[in-house]
Amino acid sequence: MVKRVVIGLSAVVVAVREGQALVLTVRSPGQAAGLPFGPFDPEGDRTFELALRAFVTAQTRFDLGYVEQLYTFGDKGRDAPVAVLEAGDRAGRVISVGYLGLTPHAVETHAPDSAWADWLRFFPWEDWREGRPPPFRP
């Protein structure tokens, strides 16, 4: 049996409002808010970046400015809930390509399932305001 590969594109869109770092989030039906994510269609999408821009805008009504590809994850067993095959079967392998998008203003998107959330909610190990964060405490 041949296992299929799904390429998922993830976006961390960052803005600063009143000195606080925020990330743009989306909520899928029945799931907690998370970072924008979408599958890459090798037949329909010309580039990873264009596909990323299209699905972020579709999910959040926010037009990305600067984006930078940061990392590609391909570990076996890695899963992304949206990365399913057309027939609904799980892929044999999920490759995730992560992007960072920077914007000077956390403007309201008026998309019903998107919102700006505190950066530290998604990256708690980055909070050193009160000393060493819990993941690094002895």
Q: Does residue 91 sit in helix, strand or coil?
A: coil
Per-residue pLDDT at 57:
92
- Give 55's DSSP letter: H
Query: Tokens at residue 52, please?
Result: 């990323």
Name the least confident of 22-26, 28-32, 99-103, 113-117.
Answer: 28-32
Helices in 17-129 by DSSP H: which ranges?
48-60, 119-122
For 21-72, how does the pLDDT look when each residue is reduced to its tens digit (9 = 90+)?
999 999 877 777 888 988 899 999 999 999 999 999 999 998 888 999 999 9
- Residue 5's contacts (CB-CB under 8 Å, 6 or more residues apart) are 91, 92, 93, 94, 95
* Stretch 114-125: mean pLDDT: 86
Is the model more confident about 112 or about 46? 46
Distance CA 41, CA 83 (A): 11
pTM summary value: 0.77
Residue (of 68, 67, 65, 57) closest to 114 by Cα position: 57
Q: Are 10 and 99 in contact (CB under 8 A)?
A: yes
pLDDT higher than threshold 50 for residue 2 = yes
Per the prediction, the chain carries an average pLDDT of: 82
- At residue 82, does pLDDT exceed 50? no
Q: What is the DSSP letter of 136?
A: G
Q: Is 89 helix (H, G, I), strand (E, B) or coil?
A: coil
Domains identified in the chain and CATH numbers:
13-123 (3.90.79.10)
Weakest-pLDDT range from 10-19, 106-115, 126-135? 126-135
